[in-house]
Amino acid sequence: MTLGDLLARAGLAGGDARAVTGFAIDHRKVAPGTVFGAFQGASVNGEDFIAAAVAAGAIAVVARPEAVVEGALHIADPSPRRAFATLAAGFFAPYPATLVAVTGTNGKTSCVEMTRQIWRMAGERAASIGTLGVTTPDGSVSTGLTTPDIVTFLANMAGLAREGVTHVAYEASSHGLDQFRNEGLTLSAAAFTNFSRDHLDYHGSMESYFAAKMRLFKEVAATGTPAVIHDAGDGSEWTAKAIATAAARGLEVLTVGEGGSFLKLIAREPGQLGQVLQIEHEGAVRKLNLPLIGAYQAANALVSAGLALATGVPASSVFDALTRLQPVRGRLERAALNQAGAPAYVDYAHTPDALEAAIAALRPHVASQGRLIVVFGAGGDRDAGKRPQMGEVAARAADVAIVTDDNPRSEDPATIRAAIMAGAGENTREVAGRREAIAAAIAEAGSNDIVLIAGKGHEQGQIFGAGETMRIEAFDDVEVARECAGGQC
């Protein structure tokens, strides 16, 4: 493809006949023939690398009008990330025909994974992209971010299409939406799970965090696209706003959940290893056994069912698939039984709302004499305001809470723990070191108790330091829980 063709596709003038060989947002990845995107970032200004990118062979640079570009075509745009995404989307095409995106504070990974499973059970070649990496019919590869950078994202999508994948569900994180990391594709459906506190270090306020999420409905999805929205029937103002935003954009609003009308959750009865759901769809009530516990997993299953229905999977296949869903890695994963017979669950709850949902999911499984013991921390270099709120949730909803470390990054772990303790209660104590904390919880759990190890889910390492001094120590909550339960901690 020539630079001229590319520009013409994006509706821009210019008849440059040089061949475009690739796209890069990092000057260190520029090769001759590359289009370079120079963006102002959180830590450095990409415009400072324009000269180096041109020296490395960039033939065009997408940058703000005020940026200085010499020796290559300056594609000037006040929103360079958006302009770059549009051009790159034209370059990497074609993509899988059926693409859906999921946003929301919690549940994105679960929903893209469940949607992938439902499609696969319906006979489609399906994949998902998100926190767990790129999961295809043949395996899984990590990208390190929930929503990869735009070049990785589009290249992955195009690669999946070449492998014959026709259906992809991807997570649209608020950072990703804000930075135009997933643009330029035609969505078959979009979904919104829920909205609560997280990432205010980046977005500043709940309103701007929500606005970033709403870019999915307002800008990424085209008019007429189905929008599956979870409505817990709890009168949430954010759910109402999401519905109003989708409707105002002319999307086809499909609500699911207790307050939903497309898929209405009529009843939910927790069982030992799953739950029985009664779901109303098109006037008929279906009763089915979902082999996953917790209201939150039922909510995610309904969003996923909504996405599958919206993308043409017959209702009978969708409801049958729900009864055969496999657990999502690190989400209420039953990791071990201690010597007294108490189970330890690993969950990725790392926000106040998620912690509350994970504890609520396990509560029906705690014997009347028993206690729910939760171990958790909060990530360093992330929204500090959520720390006391997580302390408050654990103190209120759990019987015993142990505050420990979760990816301290550049911060002092003791300071993070103290911030959580500031919101905590008398049932809460601090144990430095995640292994020590898990060991303490598992040693303490009696036969009627349940241990919840929250915050890291599928993660395989504990992150210390940042930048040059960053190191990742191997750490897997599931493995550590098993070791401790086996008396090898």
Ligand X SMILES: Nc1ncnc2c1ncn2[C@@H]1O[C@H](COP(=O)(O)OP(=O)(O)OP(=O)(O)O)[C@@H](O)[C@H]1O
Per CB under 6 A, residues contacting ligand X are: 106-110, 131, 146, 171, 193-194, 296, 299-300, 331, 347-349, 353-354, 357-358, 457
Taking the least distance from each CB to ligand UAG, the nearer of 26 and 207 is: 26
* Count of positions on this chain that bind ligand API (CB under 6 A): 9
Cβ neighbour number for residue 471 with a 10 Å cutoff? 9
Q: Which of residues 438-467 bind ligand API (CB under 6 A)?
A: 455-456, 459
Residue 110 binds which of ligand X, ligand UAG, ligand API, none (CB < 5-8 A, kind-dependent): ligand X
> In the complex with ligand API, which residue's Cβ is closer, 378 or 397?
378
The reply on whether position 204 binds ligand UAG by CB under 6 A is no
Residue of the chain from 27, 264, 382, 386 that contacts ligand API (CB under 6 A): 382
Least distance to ligand UAG, CB of residue 259, Å: 24
Partner whose binding site includes residue 1, from ligand UAG, ligand X, ligand API, none (CB under 5 to 8 Å by kind): none
Site string for ligand API, 387-416 (x = CB under 6 A): -------------------xx---------
Query: In the complex with Mg ion, which residue's Cβ is closer, 143 or 317?
Result: 143
CB-wise, 189 or 358, nearer to ligand X?
358
128 binds, among ligand UAG, ligand X, Mg ion, none (CB under 5 to 8 A by kind): none
- Closest CB to Mg ion among residues 157, 400: 157
196 near ligand API, judged by CB under 6 A: no
Residues in 134-153 that interact with Mg ion by CB under 5 A: 146
Q: Work out whether 109 is an interface residue with Mg ion (CB under 5 A).
A: yes
